[in-house]
A and B are shown apart, each in its own frame.
Chain A
Amino acid sequence: MTERPDSTVQNFDELAEVLEKYGKVPGSLITILQKTQDIYGYLSLDAINYIALKTGIKPAKIYGVATFYTQFRLKPIGKNLIMLCQGTACHVNGSKIIEEAITEHLSIQDGETTEDGLFTLNNVACLGCCSLAPVMMVKNSDGDETYGNLTKDTVRKALDEIRERG
């Protein structure tokens, strides 16, 4: 792993506090990565290197853990994170059609972010609102909102409303 500076994240003060608390507790790597992602929105290479430096865990191992679990992102995300449920109930009730509508409407595929940085689309395994299938959850700095019983029309409308709010 290179020591390439990352222009978006340079200040690790908040992360230092996390490492102060968990750095020496055995078995805390996942917790540390979760807190790091909470702070910066994703795990940058710099953050991984910083954690490695402070904990003595090898960067390769941290990278291995970070890529093993679906929760961790190595790239920044847009302002609104669309979590489109692909659970069994949603699949049976047409989540693929909803995905098509979103990818068409925003011109992004699963895992991508729109050019204006407003939306990131993530397919997720199950949101646990099976009786509202198909479902998506949109997460942003205001919290999260769930949209259920989606159709192609309602999903487009919901996205347009979010876009208008900016």
Chain B
Amino acid sequence: MRVVVGQGSCGIATGAKKTAAEFEKLIAERNLEGIEVSLTGCVGTCYLEPIVDVYDDHGQMTRYTKVLPDKVSEIIENHLINGKVFGDLAITDQDTSFIDKQMRIVLRNCGTINPEIIDEYIATGGYEATKKVVTSMTQEEVIEEIKESGLRGRGGAGFPTWFKWDAARKSPETPKYMVCNADEGDPGAFMDRSVLEGDPHSLIEGMIIGGYAMGASEGVIYVRAEYPLAIHRLEKAMDQARERGFLGKNLFGTNFSFDLRIKAGAGAFVCGEETALIASLEGERGMPRLKPPFPAQKGYWQKPTNINNVETFANVAWIILNGGKAFGAMGTKLSKGTKVFALAGKIKKGGLIEVPMGLPLRDVIYGIGDGIKNDKAFKAVQMGGPSGGCIPAELIDTPVDYENINKTGAIVGSGGMIVMDEDTCMVDMARYFLDFTRKESCGKCTYCRVGTKRMLEILERITIGEGKDGDIELLQELAYKIKDGSMCGLGQTAPNPVLTTIKYFRNEYEDHIYNKKCTARACKELLTYTINDHCTGCTLCARKCPVNAITGELKGQHVIDQALCIKCGKCEEVCRFGAVDRV
């Protein structure tokens, strides 16, 4: 029997390590023999962590959810000793459907294999694609297969992968470098981390195959330093691959040699841009430069370089084994295959999901995510992070693919999907993203450096009730100037969150500016707190108010002096009778 505890970063955050330790301790204490405790990466159902899978000797799996350490003894007693499924924690059919409704290629091994044991990866057909490529295919044939698959870069821009590989292949200079961008900087996206933690070999294999196709014998993985577990598992995987001869000199007895190393990024969103990433790899400030020359001609150390992100690479081995045609059969005409999304925000079932391109947003949010937390009204979904935009509720039937999402003004991006409900203020969201891009602007282009700051100032003014007539037009003008006047993707897309919220939620901007009102009741300065007749006169709020703005007799109706109120919300927080209204 085998007990597998999901230990991706989110699992560990909910206490999976303690759960695993408790299993080991109790199994040892009771001298239970023939039970192995193992680990796996993130299965994607983050809302059910910690997750424990029990496999019987026939390979039959029972999944338990929310297994905190104090529940471990019951699973051991019921299942491991008496062979009965412990119903209280066993996953429900409804939760199983969260996974069953997906189509998992990138995440094919996440949450099933132990990422720290290469044999488990090999048992799923791992490194067969590498063998096939280096022993029986030409560079052109590999690129042709990828071309047929229609795979496009999963990092944000959606550029055809084969085209980049081919450009690097045709570049005459040597040596050439294969680089993986694992510097997942979009706040709200964590699919790359999940692959790194849950299935690092699929990335390694993708890089070897890509390296072969373009003629590189050295690869670098640029990982966020904030992902220590990912770095640890990746290092382990690389060591094991080297031991088996999958990395190093003369792979599978051929002339092709390829090896990898890790470079830890130091936290800069702009390093998602290729040329900035290269500068950072060289130990410089991560600032972009003009293109051309493209990295395929002059990249890392001025040599031909190809950069793809983690998710793109994780598709490659599957495509080689199953054929480009099989991959291209999924998705839509122009956006083929599947895409991983990080579903979060005001959603009932948040997590990591992988679906075929072209699935309508509704099927993702309601079909898989089960709708909005506390059954509130769905307002919008933010896609593409700071470079993307907000898609409003009326466009919920938009198919999720590059073309259709671009039409809304948002982008597919790296796949962050943040769901918002009626309590989310769209002006505040725009302010939030502008604050992010202003901080992350590298400062090279004036429009991006100063323009984002000016836009942020206007948005801040609007959210505190000091918006003026003409602010919306000024924001739009600045937005287009920043797009035109910036050299790299960061500046060119930074205004998108503002433009899309103005496009779809202009009434909210107008409410803030002209009526000094925030309908989502999120902008503090625009709120008014009042006490209704549920007040019992307990005096608690009056005692807790930091500015003594509340008066009233014991057992009598209390009143807030609006001139004194600083809108801290303390009264609402402490009131036990629901007597404080926030409007």
Give me the interface of A with B, judged by CB distance under 8 Å. Answer: 26-31, 33-34, 64-65, 68-72, 86-89, 91-93, 124-133, 135, 137, 146, 148, 152
Contacts and interface: CB of A to CB of B under 8 A. Distances in A.
Interface in B170-220: 184-190, 193
A150 B284 CA distance: 38
Contacts of A88: 187-188, 344-345, 382, 385, 416, 418, 432-433
Given A86-B187, A89-B188, A92-B420, A130 B350 contact: yes
Interface stretch (B5-13, B137-145, B324-332, B356-364): B5-13
B226 A34 contact: no
A89 B281 CA distance: 30
Nearest to B347: A131
B13 A68 contact: no
A70 B46 CA distance: 28
Contact of A125 (B49, B436, B573): B436
B346 interface: yes
Interface string B153-180: 0000000000000000000000000000
Interface in B257-272: 263-269
Contacts of A26: 282-283, 301
B47 interface: yes
Nearest to B280: A30
B337 interface: no
Contacts of A34: 225, 264, 266
Nearest to B269: A125
Please provide the 10 A-B residue pairs with the shortest distance between their CB atoms, ordered closest to farther. A131-B46, A130-B344, A69-B266, A146-B13, A131-B350, A87-B187, A88-B188, A29-B283, A128-B190, A89-B344
Interface of B: 9-10, 12-14, 46-47, 49, 184-190, 193, 225-227, 263-269, 280-286, 301, 342, 344-346, 350-351, 382, 385, 416, 418, 420, 424, 429, 432-433, 436, 442, 573
Contacts of A70: 266-268
A88 B268 CA distance: 17
Given A88-B385, A89-B418, A92-B346, A27 B285 contact: no
A68 to B, nearest CB: 4
Contacts of B226: 71, 124, 127-128
20 contacts: A26-B282, A28-B283, A30-B263, A31-B263, A68-B268, A71-B267, A87-B188, A88-B418, A89-B187, A89-B344, A92-B420, A93-B346, A125-B267, A125-B436, A126-B188, A130-B190, A131-B344, A132-B13, A135-B13, A148-B13
A103 to B, nearest CB: 12
Given A34-B225, A93-B346, A125-B185, 11 more contacts: A27-B281, A30-B263, A69-B286, A70-B267, A70-B268, A88-B344, A92-B424, A125-B269, A126-B187, A128-B190, A131-B49
Contacts of B350: 89, 130-131
B575 to A, nearest CB: 14
Contact of A65 (B9, B284, B344): B284
A28 B266 CA distance: 12
Name, among B193, B301, B418, B573, the residue most crowded by chain A CB atoms within 10 Å (CB to CB).
Answer: B418
A91 B284 contact: no
Nearest to B568: A100
Contacts of A92: 345-346, 418, 420, 424, 429
B381 to A, nearest CB: 11
Contacts, number: 127
A72 to B, nearest CB: 7
Contacts of B12: 146
Contacts of A30: 263-266, 280, 283
A139 to B, nearest CB: 10
Contact of B285 (A68, A126, A132, A135): A68
A35 to B, nearest CB: 10
B282 A69 contact: no
Contact of A129 (B9, B263, B301, B433): B9
A39 to B, nearest CB: 15
A118 B226 CA distance: 22
A10 B423 CA distance: 53
A164 B110 CA distance: 39
B524 to A, nearest CB: 9
Nearest to B10: A129
B418 A69 contact: no
Nearest to B432: A91
Given A89-B344, A92-B420, A31 B285 contact: no
B288 to A, nearest CB: 13
A86 B226 CA distance: 14
Given A68-B286, A130-B188, A132-B46, A93 B268 contact: no
B271 to A, nearest CB: 9
Contacts of A125: 185, 187, 267, 269, 436
A71 B432 CA distance: 21
A2 to B, nearest CB: 23
Nearest to A57: B283
Given A33-B266, A126-B188, A64 B285 contact: yes
Contacts of B433: 88
Nearest to A128: B190
